[in-house]
Chains A and B, each alone.
Chain A
Amino acid sequence: MNVTPPVQSSILQATERAFPFGPPILELSSISLRFGGVQALTNISFNVLEHEIRAIIGPNGAGKSSMLNVINGIYVPQEGSVTFRGERLSEMTPTQAAHLGMARTFQNIALFRGMSVLDNIMAGRILRTHATFLEVAFQLPRARREESENRAAVEEIIEFLEIEHIRKTPVSRLPYGLQKRVELGRALAAEPKVLLLDEPMAGMNIEEKQDMCRFILDVNDHYGTTVVLIEHDMGVVMDISDRVVVLDYGKKIGDGTPDEVRSNQDVIDAYLGVAH
């Protein structure tokens, strides 16, 4: 059950994609996580292929967010390891994860509320900035070049996410859906290899959800970014994911293409309930 099943050949043949799947970029093996006496995750293994859109779903309290936080290095699992881009990491910090090419969004939007949309996305460029204090003070070539590169990258993202009209607006004044989009923009600014999205569509109306789905697919298609997303809304996930992991009570109960997962009896029981 805990061994990742071989990737379905049907997916690998999806030749119409701009970025065909590569080897696994992220591998989780036998992850167990406890908080005191609470067993949040039990012996979970799965992998994520390069350029794939991989979803983690499950009912409330299934351990989805814990899983994402293990991948991101916020929680260190008691057992198991995370292998990211060939590096096996037993203890990773969120800062290291960012350096290795991971970017994320949060379930409860974590934007820099005092800053404008532009500055928030600009902040995402921080790892791409290397000029020192003195170089900035005297406007030496590297500082000037980086500044213009960063501006160009940020403008591209703003255009990509169709938020040109609010670039100067303080984020705290934006409606929820747009804040989520800005957060996605900030994550993209770091040019990540893997994008972790924690319930990107939670609390959105249908139209906002459709927009967000389109952006996630576009990001994957345009930049080849691997996406790992957690979602509550099963319908939405099934439409955009290549493969889905299903968690329930901290255990993996299903893993495969949306169709496979949909017809998995354990998954149906977990979602619809079953007479015991």
Chain B
Amino acid sequence: MQNFWFFIEVLVGGLLSGIMYSLVALGFVLIYKASSVFNFAQGAMVFFAVLTFVGVMELGLPFWAALPVAIGVMVLVGMATERFVLRPLVSQSEDTLLMATIGLSFVIEGVAQLAWGVDVRNLNLGIQDEPINWVMDKTGMLISQLDITAGIVASIMVASLALLFSRTKVGRGLRAVADDHAAALSIGIPLKHIWMLVWATAGVVALVAGMLWGARSGVQFALVWVALKALPVLIIGGFTSVPGVIVAGLLVGASEKVVEVYVGPKFGGGVEVWFPYVLAVLFLLVRPEGLFGEKIIRRV
């Protein structure tokens, strides 16, 4: 019985951190769907967003006031990106757009540190990163309150985004824009608004992801590398699929923890660092479009 609860503990811990991977990956999917570009600046946006949030709180604003300010700043970043980076590059190749986002990432990282300094900060969300007592008493499992909160917040965001994209006018417009710019314009979809909206939404998703990661590991430059954790999730889930990255995030989170605990000791530990990438490579070999990605059909 002890063993069983221990397994569940590992699994739940993995699933909950997996949800946080999904959340970061979701930012990529949003932008990939609208602009067909792998947004290299997503990690920088995570860093910038949470740093802005903490910076505003340090200026003396309470949590509930700092949050809308940070959201507002991310919306402005989204609008500025559309105006100054994307609009001049309409109809350019995807490679050009990718290069532009690499440039954008340096700008955002620079501005973030210029505005708020380079110190590592603590972010206190008022939720302890400690095990929940009654779960521990009942089952002996150690499940963090922060993980549970993160899981709930991420689930709500994921559910509302999924709804937004599958059922609403904006979602249909977004899918159309992703497929063909000229055709989307011809049926009256305002390309500019869609891009602005998507980048702003990706900014808000980055803020939430940054807050959850920052609360655990401190608000510091290393947050830009959170994006790397999203890479295997994107490959497994498919770059264009919202449900795909959710399932893939859970899969990566759970499998890396389970493998670390049960197989890790044979390799001397540290397996969770590279296991997701091995999994991603396996997917590339077997199912390159990802779990729910659009099937790649190539006519010869």
A-to-B contact residues, CB < 8 Å: 72, 74, 93-95, 98-99, 103-104, 106, 110-115, 119, 122-124, 126-127, 129-133, 136-137, 172-173, 186-187, 189-190
Contact = CB atoms under 8 A, between A and B. Distances in A.
A119 B184 CA distance: 13
A103 B187 contact: yes
A112 B171 CA distance: 14
Contacts, number: 85
B175 A104 contact: no
Contact of B185 (A94, A115, A119): A94
B182 interface: yes
A133 B165 CA distance: 10
Contacts of B180: 110-113
Contacts of B188: 95, 98-99, 126-127, 190
Given A98-B187, A133-B170, A114 B294 contact: yes
Given A112-B175, A112-B179, A129 B186 contact: no
B191 to A, nearest CB: 8
Q: Is the interface of B mostly helix, strand, loop or mixed?
A: helix
Given A95-B190, A123-B176, A126-B173, A106 B168 contact: no
B186 A94 contact: yes
Contacts of B170: 133
B297 interface: yes
Interface of B: 160, 163-164, 167-170, 172-173, 175-176, 178-180, 182-191, 240, 294, 297
Given A129-B169, A136-B163, A115 B187 contact: no
Contacts of B183: 106, 110-112, 186
The 8 closest A-B pairs by CB, nearest first: A98-B188, A110-B183, A112-B179, A94-B185, A127-B188, A129-B169, A110-B180, A123-B176
Nearest to B192: A95
Contacts of B179: 111-115
Given A112-B175, A112-B180, A95 B185 contact: yes
Contacts of A187: 186-187
Nearest to A189: B187
B163 A186 contact: no
Contacts of A186: 183, 187
A123 B169 CA distance: 9
Contact of A126 (B163, B164, B176, B191): B176
A179 to B, nearest CB: 12
A127 B187 contact: yes
24 contacts: A72-B186, A74-B185, A95-B189, A95-B190, A103-B187, A106-B183, A110-B183, A111-B180, A112-B175, A112-B176, A112-B183, A113-B179, A113-B180, A114-B178, A115-B179, A123-B172, A126-B176, A127-B187, A129-B172, A132-B168, A172-B297, A187-B187, A189-B187, A190-B187
Nearest to A123: B176
Task: With a 10 A CB-CB cut-off, give which of B160, B164, B175, B187 has the most chain A CB atoms.
Answer: B187
A173 B294 CA distance: 13
Contacts of B168: 131-133, 136
A114 B33 CA distance: 11
A112 B184 CA distance: 8
Given A173-B297, A190-B187, A126 B167 contact: no
Nearest to B193: A95
A197 to B, nearest CB: 12
A93 B2 CA distance: 67
A115 to B, nearest CB: 7
Contacts of B169: 126, 129-131
A123 B187 contact: yes
Nearest to A94: B185
A52 to B, nearest CB: 21
A116 to B, nearest CB: 11
Contacts of B182: 74, 94, 106, 110
